[in-house]
Structure 1
């Protein structure tokens, strides 16, 4: 699926916002990504830690 020059895979989107509702991060997830819950959770934790390190 292509929209405005971006390729979007069929699947799910996980959107992370801060407490004020500002977009922090967005992830595209496919059925394959969700097929391995342990790997998905590990990747999500790494992303959250990276976001927390960027915060002042």
Structure 2
């Protein structure tokens, strides 16, 4: 699950960047990236259980 760990770490990093962004549009982009990374991690976890 190293890939999943990587995706979760990237999601956390993007969440932090979203919180600290000084421009609203940048915050939105980082938030979207955060959600994409966590979505990929969740999909990998679900697939690994089947």
TM-score (norm 2): 0.47
Bigger fraction of residues in helix:
2
> Larger Rg: 1 or 2?
1
The structure showing larger relative contact order (alpha-carbon pairs under 8 Å, at least 6 residues apart) is 2
Larger % of strand: which? Answer: 1
